[in-house]
Structure 1
Amino acid sequence: MTGTTEQLGKPWRRRGATVFALVCCVGMIAFMAWVLLRELEDVSTANSDNLQWSLAQADVEFLRFELAMQRALDDPLQVDQVRRRFDIFYSRVDTIENGLVFRELRRDPTYDEPRAVVRTFLQDTIPLIDGDDATLIAALPDLSERALAVSDEVRRFSLGGLAAFAEVSDARREDLVRTLILLAIVLAALLGGLVLVALAMFRLSQLAIRRSDEVRRTSARMRTIVETSQDAIIVANRRGEILEFNPAAEKIFEVSRADALGQRVAELVLPERSRTKARDTYFRFMNDGARDSGEALHLEVTAKTQGGREFPAEVAVNHAEDASGGQVHVIYMRDISRRRAAENDLTEARDRALAGERAKAEFLAVMSHEMRTPLNGLLGSMQLMRDQSVSDRQQELLNRMEFSGRLLLSLVNDVLDLAKYEAGRIDIVRKPFSVPRLLDGVIETTAPLATKNGNALDWRWEGTPVDGAVGDPRRLRQVLLNLVGNAVKFTRAGTVEIEAEVIGASDPQLEFRVIDSGVGIAHEDLDRIFRDFETLDSSYARQAGGTGLGLGIARRFAMLMGGEIGVESEPGEGSLFWLRLPFAPADLSEGTPSDAETAPSPAIRPLDILLVEDNEINRLVAREFLEADGHTVTEAVNGRAGVEWANARRFDAILMDVSMPVMDGPEAARTIRSGDGPSKTAPIIAVTAHALPEEIAAFRQAGMPHCVSKPLDRNALQKTLAEVAGGAPVAADAAVPLADKPSDAPLIEAENLERFRDGSAVALLDRSVAEINWDIDRIAEGTLAPADLQQVVHKCAGTCGVFGFSALRRALAAVETDLKRGAPVAPERLHALSVLWDKTRDTLEDWRVAQP
């Protein structure tokens, strides 16, 4: 056997050597052909003419240079011609010296000596040429004499180059002849190689005869493979009688090969209810032409074992010819019970994932409330402080605090807008609105940032202006604010302009173009900027910051409104963002709908208001807002106390927090409405950060048709109270702006603490720190009942959020979420809150020490 293998291997090795030699010859011929082409190109007439022309032209350009100097001596105004002719002559010489085509000429002394003289002349003349006109005009006489002295060397330089080139050309022609001779030798060798290949092919024909024996041995190996296959392989004749039954089939169907041979396949391996379907599928497959195409039939059936156990099976059926030319059917069957189990597991996992998505939506609703609670204290206190007399330093701190609060609020809204879109809970409204008024509002909102960055900001119509359109002005305004805000942030001392135009005749669209002269965007980043959490790495981007969500949300809103959004930009040339929406004109002759976001806050009569809020700081902010507008405020610290006050006296309006201990807002509202107290019919305004539609509907069902969002905005509160006082109906699409879960934050945020440095604010901070310390100790003990624990965690989290204890606030919020879901909270997590509070308190003390 070993000797046979060696005999078979030798012809293959010889053939391999022959082929390798041929490949080498072909490669050598290709290489020599390339060399030959290069040499032919080098000696071609075009290159020769170009070389000779360059050498001769140098002499001509030098004569023109001398002539220009003579003219400049007569007319100093011709001094620019002197520079021009010098530059041309210098370019000719530089080409000769540095060009690859003159490389061999530079090695010839006859050519190189005058070249050195000419180069020296050029180097000495450059300072005069590059100097001012007066210096050059004064030096012209001397320069003309020097040029005259060098003219002979220029001519020698040109003639010497031509002579040297003639010698080089002769040498190249000789090299070309040698290359042709060598190429002929290689071609002869190639011819001999082809003869050897013909001999090798003859030997291969002999080898093919021996290979037929190997094919027979291969068939035996294939039989072994069939017998060891994990899949059941059954061969049957046209009547369905089993001819072959491999060992895997014996194992799967629990029947021996001897017993299976001669039986019908369907009766042996399929339960009776599956036979009709399998037979119909097979005949339909055969009638469709698969019999002659060679395709296999694939289907899934329910199979059975000899013992009666049923299982899912995957079947592949094809036909072949036997030794006598008759047709047989080859059937492959595989038990897919495990795969079906895995698919069921995946389905169950999908259901769990969907449940998780619902849980996430609930979590976001809770976090919206909790995020806006500290923002209420932050932004509300700043608005109240602006009503007081403050120093420049205090005004600076107020500006910094308000910027941070508004930034946090925008991030909260962005992330929750994304979550709400993914949950399919954003509804687009269609109502008439004024396009110019909307654009004026966008300009007014972004003007302060544009002024800060030194930008000019405006909008204009292209083509025929329109006034009214039908659409969703709130979503459109949000998209335009995002585009204009980005343009303003990434432009410094430039221009930002909005163009509006109605395009298309049969299918009109309203197109907005935001054009800036800012940093621009690289081509490879144009698609990436519309992805979520994508920010570009530029100095302006780092200064401007952001989560990278704005454009992703803008793209989603554009799609919801039936439009599209895109960008055109070049780095350093600015950007053009465009937004196209379906256009339907609206008649606003009877008055433009009010814009709740830009309309001034109405003045109303003083009201007697019940404020129901468990957070002391939130009560403080709301009370000062209300009392500053002349209202009378009565406070209640939880829902039950609010019910008692409402049953005791008549109030013009009730501000009801949603999430409170003892009794929450919706329950308190239902209790008030179902009772007989004096405030049974008083308007109840829900104060909440919840924003999902079903929650708003739940508030209304509880008797709270109006909602205001946390953190409290003074203008929004005034407008809501004006609606309540005037008996205005509640808009069907009224909703509370979204909030979201907080981003990663440090132990403390110093900007939040700036307002607690002086006077009574310091006492409030000290008292709140003591309360947090007491609450954390109670939480860490782990002895509170779940309901009591949830109340303490909620109260402590709200206080931490107001003072900027971000890390502890986030940990408390996570515990509260689990408690609301009814999930157990491990004692280790509660103890970790105590450790985190110790670190937060130490950082707070360091901040206090660092204060002036």
Structure 2
Amino acid sequence: MPDFKTRLRRLRRGWMPISVLLAGIALLVAVGLSLGWRGTQEMRLLADSQSDELIWTVTQAEVEFLEFERVILRQMMRGDGDAAALRDAFDVYYSRLTTLRVSPLYRDYIEAAGQRVRLAELGVRSDALLPLIDADDATLLAGADRLLVSVDGMRRDLRRLGSRVMQTVAQRREEMRKGIYAVMRDLAIVVVALLASMGVLSLLVWRLFRFLRARAREMRQTSTRLSTIVTTSQDAIVVTDDDDRITEFNAAAEALFGLGRAVALGQPIGRLCDVAALDGQVRRQRVTGFRREGREVPLEASLGVEGTPFGRIRVYVFRDITHRLAIEEDLRQSRDQALAGERAKARFLAVMSHEMRTPLNGIIGAIGLLRDEVREPRARQYLDILESSGETLLSHVNDVLDITQLEAANVALARQVVDLDALSHSVLRGFEPAARARGVRLERMVHMPGSPLVRGDRARLRQILTNLVDNAVKHTSDGTVTLDVSGGGPGTPLVEIQVSDTGTGIAPGDRGRIFEDFVRLERDDTVAPAGTGLGLGITRRLVEAMGGEIGVESEPGEGSLFWVRLPLPAMAAEAVAADPVTESGDSRIAPLRVLVVEDNPVNRFILREMLEKDGHLVDEAENGAAGLELADRSGFDLILMDIAMPGMDGDAVTRRIRAGGGPNAATRIVALTAHVQAAENPETRAAGFDQVVTKPVTWPVLRAVLRGQAAPVTPPPGTLPLLDTQAPVALQRSLGPGKYAAFLRDFRAGGAELLRMLDSGDTPPDPLRRKIHALAGMAAIVGARRLHGALSDLETALAGGQDTAAPAAGIAPLFADTAAALPD
């Protein structure tokens, strides 16, 4: 069911169209009001008489001018003119013209008609007549002809002025009428849109009403269903408010806690159980509940938290797991008893096998001594029988001991260079007498391109070949047994071993159990083959321990083919002498107990893997304080100490171990550092280290340290190669492909992060130095010699407060070259 916020968002989405529509209606109303006000203003302007007055004044000015001209003409024609009448006619005309010139009411129309200049010229010409008009009567009447010349052309200008002004007024009125029409049209559109919006709004409101009514009905149904679920649930359900007080308590909760609903409501949830450990996750967690009488009940609880407008509510679901815990305890005891029985059986078999093998070795040795003393043929035959029976019994005891070791996962696989050609030849030669006795021809084929050398456990490979060939010879008479060894060559880790025979074959029903322990298949001649039936079972366990697979193909009466596929890395002949892992077991020393103090988890993991592969016991400490605690508590044969660690560094830890008088005060402590300069630092030597080793720590370096010998010398920085090509190969061999790929991902990611920190320029010195130190350690492990040296120089400059711009500038291209050169 959607939560309250989801429902609120949906409700808001339902109101969104209505809100938009209401906003549109409000906008339409505003536009309509604006258009109404504009139309009113336009009609007021149209009804204004100002334009009519302008037309009357212009036409009247022309009439007055014509009257003035008529008076002048009469004076000239009759000679009986009246000076006062002439002045009155001019004054009336001049007054009209002045009104047009200076009145602000008419200025807009005159300028719109383009007659302002013409009106000004008329005014100038009229002003020029004032001296004559203001002269005495005789002068005025005598100058009538000059007046007529002066006003010549003014009639035409006045007529043009009046015509243009009336045209302008007519145009203005037409524009006003059009504007009023447009306003009324827009207002009609707004009214229609407003009515349509009101209709749509009514429809949306009706739909929203129906939606809310349906939602209310659904919520009532949901509430009823939830109430039914809570009431009938077999789990106890308790609901609390924001103050952790109970607001709902179902019937299952009443039965579980022995508390009535009326009593439980309002009580704090802590009255029922301790819920402090619940983290609000969906998964169930173990809590302890308290019944009314005070008895504790083991519960499985889950907590859900829901936010509401009235605060958060918490829903607790409890289940009584008393019965389940009892069943689990019974199962646990049964399992422990079964495991104890298996361990006792394995220990018994191992002890008995060991105790039987010791006297058998003595018997077989004594038989060998007696053979030199006994000369009687009959007695020598007895000795032959005793020796053969003793060796057979010793072989059976060894098989049982191998089974117990493999079942206990105690098999330790050596990493040696094995010549498969020579090994297969040696195994077949050992079976020549038995094969001749049964009339079996032994054949061998080896297909190993390049070199037959691989890395693996020589003794276990011999045991696999021996068991497979022995099984084939036992089940073949007068036939052929073929051993075929093939591999893909250098770089291909898969080697396939096939042992085929022309013996009795295996029935389809027996192929599924042929690799089980103590299984011996009867031959057609009813003669049971010799042996314990453990050979193929031991072979299967050895193949699985080496990460390979085994199978069989067979046809009854035709023969069988057993195949084994093993991940055995091929070795080039010229690389055997230089490879540190190819050292024989004699080059390794007795197992030591070693403490590794290293803050970098990758470096710590690599050291542990290398030490444990040589059979040493390893304890780890992730920082100086943890290393000091372990050193004070237990004794160690050797302590490998990283110098640069956060908090308490390697120098401080070593000083406290030496001065503390504990079990490791005299233990050999070897410093590990990514800085070549640290090996020459007097303070490092004075801290109490017996030896300072510069990373990377390779197999020859580590084994030399374990023997107490001087480690190989690191070449000068100027001669460092970009990449030690042997280091990635050895690292991949030590870690395996999966862990090696993960290491490369971490190395590239760490380099990218360091480059971002250097580019930003705002990283504090301490975090930057720790990042540089960590990446330098990883570069040393993977054999990135030049990058390791550059990072060491950058860390030294940063620690000494020197300018880091120059060493930091070369990190990015050097890291890119190194990352590209690393093999995947």
- State TM-score, norm by structure 2: 0.37
Relative contact order, higher structure (CA 8 A, sep 6+): 1
